[in-house]
Amino acid sequence: MMDIAVDQGFLRQRLPSKDVSTTRALDRYDPTYDPLLASTPGCGQDYSPTYWIATAGEPPADDGPIDSDREVDVAIIGSGFTGLSAAIALARDHGVRATVLEANRVSWGCSVRNGGQAQCASGRLTRSQWIARWGLDTALALHAECLDGMEYFKRLIADIDCDVQPGGHLYVAHRAARMPMLEREAKVLREVFDYDAQILDADTLRRHYIDDHEAAGAMHEPEGLGVHPAKLAFGYLKKARALGATVHPASPVQGWVTKDGWHHLQTPGGVVRARAVAVATGGYTSQTLHPRLRNRLMPILSNSVVTRQLTPEEIEANGLRTHQVITDTRVLRHYYRLTPDGRLQIGSRSAINGRGAPDKRYERMLLDGMVRKFPGLRDVSIDYSWWGWVDVSHDMMPRIVQPDPHVAIYYALGYGGNGVMYAAQAGRRLAQWIAGAGGSLRLPIFQGQLPFPNVAGVITSEWFAPFRRLGQRALYRWYHLKDEVL
């Protein structure tokens, strides 16, 4: 690793180091950041201009940047939902006070850019696909893990004011051709998993839930919550610090060397020597962070917009009759809901790379999708527009693992856009691994490593990874055909 020359006096002057919020960033927010190209997400960058950050209030106090060399038992890289929930579980359940390192502002990445949809899911695969991949017994155990995770999530956030919207999840068929798939999946959920998923025809959906003009019907799941992501992240921050964890923004890991059982993490303000390191960086995992993580994820961009506040008459006229979280059946899916203050939030896929992310055509594509669903919102102004990276694994399932039993390195990554709920459970499982209690975690998501890219059914070596975005462009074209034409 290269040595990094840093003016530490300047760093401490700009960002105070004890029990204060990081209120002044070293760097402006970079809208073109790309985890496949940049060595770190930055240092002290301001937040993306999301609706969530604009309405969450002042961030709580943190512990300021690392400003000297130090030794710790556990370092957690990443202060989003996973990293903070791991710090909470370590302190509360195992008596370990972690040191959390964050490159920019606290929970700067995925945790404040998502749609706030807490679904009873882990990764991108359906229950039927679990059965096909691992067999019935493992699929049932994975389902039980998700249900346990949802109950844990509810307990963890019970005292956090994060605008919870209960009621379940609507999985909307955006074309009539998708209804048979939903009907089959609902039958499997009811009869195999004893999970009360119900099919709604188009008329019932429109009269009682939402007048999505594309919808041919929907599957309703009983579990699902809407939350305010930034308020949730800030609540996790308060919990973690109250339990004795320290959280250090503007402290990117710029070098990582393991020697004699100690991990030497180079930050701009000093070296953190840790006995164990957990990685919880989501879609913002740089290629150079650690060799075990290189090319293990396919980061993809997702756009999101939030309208101005709608009047009660506009809400009624557009049939926005529920606050439940909603996704549609596109491969390049839309996720949307009515916020507590009467705005429509909707998101979907974005550019291929960070350089293209600010291009307005991706916002226009998303707005076109919104208008197809709700034509009456055609002339409604947009108050917030942003994008962010999603950590998609190459087999569409997360891993919460210790990849080498002889080395105290752990990671929880690869949620594929379903991390709002499961990140809490993943942090809890990550804490089990770190505390030496991970031996009982037998499910596939707790074993092995994140795989390399899969090409024509074969898991390839990392040499293929640099060409993934060429394949991604081709896949997006194919997915568009599947979603809109075939």
Name residue 51's amino acid. Y
Say yes or no: 217 and 315 in one domain: yes
Position 465 in a domain? no
Say yes or no: 294 and 235 in one domain: yes
Say yes or no: 331 and 353 in one domain: yes
Structurally, how many domains does the chain consist of?
Answer: 2
> For residue 69, what are the domain limits?
51-115+230-298+395-451
| pLDDT for the residue numbered 363 | 97
| pLDDT for the residue numbered 206 | 97
| pLDDT for the residue numbered 226 | 98
Per-10-residue mean pLDDT of the chain, 486 residues long, equals: 28 36 64 94 96 97 98 98 98 98 98 98 96 98 98 98 98 98 98 98 98 98 98 98 98 97 98 98 97 95 98 98 98 96 97 96 97 98 98 96 97 97 98 96 96 59 62 90 88
Say yes or no: 55 and 204 in one domain: no
Say yes or no: 359 and 315 in one domain: yes
Position 343 in a domain? yes
| pLDDT for the residue numbered 465 | 53
Say yes or no: 243 and 280 in one domain: yes
Say yes or no: 88 and 64 in one domain: yes
Say yes or no: 67 and 90 in one domain: yes
Q: What pTM value is reported for the model?
A: 0.93
Position 12 in a domain? no
Position 3 in a domain? no
| pLDDT for the residue numbered 471 | 85
User: Residue 322 is part of a domain; what is its CATH number?
Assistant: 3.30.9.10
Say yes or no: 235 and 356 in one domain: no
Say yes or no: 211 and 339 in one domain: yes
User: Residue 260 is part of a domain; what is its CATH number?
Assistant: 3.50.50.60
Position 144 in a domain? no
| pLDDT for the residue numbered 454 | 63
Beta bridge partners of 257: 264
Say yes or no: 374 and 315 in one domain: yes
Say yes or no: 242 and 374 in one domain: no
